[in-house]
Structure 1
Amino acid sequence: MLELDELVEEVLLHIPPDDPASLLRAALVCRRWRRLISAPAFRRRFIELHHHTPPMLGFFVGNNFLSIADFVSTSSIRAASRFPIEWSAIDSRHGRVLLRTALTRRLSPYGGSNAAVLCAGAAGGCGHLGCHRGHFLVVLVGIGFAYIYSSEAGAWTSQTSADAQQHHHCRLSLAPSVLLGSALYFMVCASSYDLVFGASNAFLKYDLDTGKMCLVRLPPGFSSKRTVLMAAENGELGLAWVEGSMLYQWSRNKPAGRTDNVGLWAQSRAIELEMLLPADAISNSIDAIGSANGVGVIFLRTHVGIFTFDLRSSQVKKVSEARHYGSVLPYVSFYYTPPSRPVTCNV
């Protein structure tokens, strides 16, 4: 029987990570298979076999960054298509999704802020492949202030930055943040118009280790563009936007030996989408509306639907017929059995 179990395990290990429904069906075959698939050893081998790279299982979508509630699956799993109407998703990372309620939006005194969720061991070298049930942090950031919730302590702490408070007239975009090393990066908008339409002229860097934050300007000419903040292929901060039928990528490189926030922006790629997208999708209304960090995917909105562009393979895939969505929040994770109820932390 042991040899049979080993044979079954080898077959199950080769199920693609973006096909979690097949794993769920296999777990329902019998108790023996369910114990096999639920074992930590199987999960560890499954992750190792697939090169420690979690797949994108789907994404949350909304009309703009003020409301993201619908979930679109890009895998075989079919989750509930919508949260309760008073909930919306504002961040997703390390197998978790950060939600807020309508009550939180009405009562929150921190206008122009944004928030992020991450594993509590993010700065300590955690691989984030099975930490989704462990302790986590929620980071609420605005211009000049930050509040950090620790699930381990069950409490909030606060920090302020006099340097960033000089830019009190600015607001943080509600676009998803980017985590690079021990720092979170948030897009900054200079006006309510920019907040709704995704234009930005700067980003805010918040260092989780030191609690310091600083505002960094984007290169000249970016303020009128709908720009997506992302992790570049070189591990540095990156930008993506579409002009005409061209997708442009820029990355920020820090000169060797510099320990401050000085960085040089340079264009890294220019991709002609006309040869990749279907003919009926090519128009002047193509926009980059999001990115899935870790899997190298950029979301493109066209007048015939939403497409993903894989930066590694240059493959394009249509993932939604919807044309009105203005924002996306990818969910990137190996599939795990969800908890029975969400964990809450009141602001």
Structure 2
Amino acid sequence: MSPAAPLDDENLLAEILLRLPPLPSTLPRASLVCKRWLLLVSDIRFFRRFRRRHRCSPPLPGCFVPDRGGVSYTPTMDSPDRVPAERFSLQLDGSCYSNPLGCRHGLVPISPNLWKQVLVWDPVTGDQHHISFPPGLDGIANSIHGAVRRAAGDGEVHHFQVILVGVVEVDKQHVGVLACVYSSDTGVWDNIISVLIPFDAYTTRVLKFDLERQSLAEIQLPVGMSEEELLQLTVMRAEGGGLGLLYISGFTTQLWKRKTDCDGAASWGMERTIELGKLLSLNPEKERVRPLIEGLAEYNNVVFLTTGDGVIMLQLESLQFKKFYEMSDGFYHYPFESVYSVGNQHW
């Protein structure tokens, strides 16, 4: 008896399809080949294996920016992987701006500036969760920052957490930072955690929120960073893991990493620098617009920069870059690093 052809062997076919590139069009196009391929790539067990195999490089189909009346989406990919802008744009209350608080694990937390609530939106499925601010933060809706985190694992139900951080002026010398966590599993907010910070040190600190311990801690920035350029700073995942910083001074990008020595003492160390002037063929003497950070895709390690030539996407490892669009709208961009959905499973 002759062996089955490679594509007739169910196990071998699955192994072949698992090696397809993790692009938005990959699984939908594979599902059109025949009914057998459709049943295979839409099977939840196959999807879990596909996601685990490509976990290190989720797709980056586009970015979200705030807009009057909703959230706008701008695609980054070309056809056939290009997701149309209208597919992931969201219309809400036309009387106010809707500010994204972040974008992670396929979810976008949004806080319309006239609402005292957070909207957690899944662009792929269209699901929306409206969550009222916790008492204590509902009075500072215009000073709210936040993030979302989806529970790890391959279960059928993926619960999520929302972390809100608010800043209040306590007196002329201090500001108070308040933090609170919501769990979709319990449907309630935890107790508010607070920390008092000297006003003159507020802009030179990174705040660390420990979800397990429910505690806030301050981390001082590296010495020598110019206070005038601290807006050109963003927290990122360091190369090799751990806490990192991306800092732009003039036409130079600095990549920093938080390190701990054998005695447990932590300090910052500069890992490398990128000369943006040379890389992007910019002339520091003639450029009126210095590179500005407009967004960071943490899993793809891509930073969005405004230059005099528009907005570019720069991959920090390969240093490959391409123009995102010609003009900058001045808004911070929230990269969307997710696209696949099978049942309740998401990238």
Name the TM-score, length of structure 2 as normaliser.
0.73
Structure 2 residue 315 is matched with structure 1 residue 307: no
Task: Tell me, in whole angstroms, the C-alpha distance in 1 between the residues paired with 2:56 and 2:156.
Answer: 15
1:47 is aligned to 51
Counterpart residue type for residue 139 of structure 1 = I
Amino acid at match of 1:53: S
Shift in Å, 1:26: 3.2
Instruction: Confirm or deny: 8 A CA contact 1:303 1:323 kept in the other structure.
Output: no
RCO comparison, higher one (Cα < 8 Å, 6+) = 1
| Aligned 8 A contact 1:308 1:316 in 2 | yes
Question: Alignment partner of 1:325: what SS?
Answer: coil
Between the aligned partners of 1:321 and 1:132, the Cα distance in structure 2 is 42
Deviations 1:136-158 (A, max 9, x none): 11111234432211111111121
Q: Does 1:155 align with 2:161?
A: no
Residues 234 and 247 in structure 2, CA contact (< 8 A), matched pair in contact too: yes
Q: 1:71 to 1:229 in 2, by over 3 A?
A: same
Are 1:82 and 2:89 an aligned pair?
yes
After TM superposition, give the deviation of residue 8 of structure 1 in Å.
Answer: 5.4
Query: 1-side partners of 2:311 and 2:69: how far apart?
Result: 18
Q: Among the aligned pairs, what percent are the same residue?
A: 30
1:175 aligns to what? none
Offset from partner CA, 1:205-247 (integer Å, 9 cap, x none): 1111111112333234332112122111142322223233322
Q: Is the Cα contact below 8 Å between 2:257 and 2:268 reproduced in 1? A: yes
- 2:134 counterpart of 1:110: no
CA distance in 1, matches of 2:71, 2:184: 24
| TM-aligned CA distance change 1:275 to 1:68, over 3 Å | farther
Contact 1:118/1:138 (<8 A) preserved:
yes
Check if 1:288 corresponds to 2:293.
Answer: yes
1:146 to 2:149 alignment: no
In 1, Cα distance between equivalents of 2:156 and 2:115? 24
How much has 1:115 moved relative to structure 2? 1.3
Alpha-carbon distance in structure 2 between the residues aligned to 1:39 and 1:85: 34
Which of these residues, 201, 213, 228, is aligned with residue 216 of structure 2?
Answer: 213
Are the equivalent residues in 1 in contact too, given 2:238–2:244 (CA < 8 A)? Answer: yes
2:130 maps to what in 1?
A: none
TM-superposed CA distance for 1:287, in Å, is: 1.2
Q: Which amino acid aligns with 2:144?
A: S
Contact kept in structure 2, 1:90 and 1:116, CA below 8 Å: yes
- The residue identity in structure 2 corresponding to 1:303 is G
The equivalent residue for 2:158 is 134
Q: How does 1:1-347 map to 2 (within 5 A)?
A: 3=8, 9=14, 12-17=17-22, 19-50=23-54, 52-62=56-66, 69-75=71-77, 76-79=81-84, 80=87, 82-86=89-93, 87-104=98-115, 108-111=138-141, 112-121=143-152, 126=153, 133-142=157-166, 143-161=176-194, 164-167=195-198, 200-218=203-221, 219-225=223-229, 226-258=232-264, 263-277=266-280, 283=287, 284-333=289-338, 335-336=340-341
Q: Distance in 1 between matches of 2:318 and 2:74?
A: 22
Q: Structure 1 residue 120: deviation in Å? A: 3.3
What is the TM-score of this pair, normalised by structure 1? 0.73
1:48 Cα shift?
Answer: 4.3
CA distance in 2 between partners of 1:131 and 1:248 (Å) = 39
Q: For residues 318-347 of structure 1, give each alpha carbon's deviation from its aligned partner in whole angstroms, at most 9, with x where no partner exists.
A: 2222323331111123522587xxxxxxxx
Unmatched runs of 5 consecutive residues or more in structure 2: 118-132, 167-175
- For 1:37, the aligned partner's letter is V
- CA shift, 1:4, in A, is 6.1
SS at match of 2:36: helix
- The runs of 5 or more residues in structure 1 that have no matched partner are 171-188, 191-199, 340-347
CA distance in 1, matches of 2:242, 2:324: 28
Tell me by how many angstroms 1:277 deviates.
1.9
Deviation at 1:53, TM superposition (A): 3.0
TM-aligned CA distance change 1:68 to 1:272, over 3 Å? farther
* Superposition deviation, residue 39 in structure 1: 0.7
- In the TM superposition, residue 45 of structure 1 has moved relative to its aligned partner by 3.2
Task: For 1:146, give the aligned amino acid.
Answer: A
Q: 1-side partners of 2:40 and 2:326: how far apart? A: 39
1:327–1:292 CA distance, 2 compared to 1 (3 A):
same
Partners of 1:335 and 1:222 in 2: CA distance: 41
- Structure with the greater alpha carbon radius of gyration: 2
**Secondary structure of the structure 2 residue equivalent to 1:323:** coil
Count matched residues. 296
Contact 1:67 1:88 in 2 (8 A): no
Whether the 8 Å CA contact 2:66–2:72 is kept in 1: the answer is yes
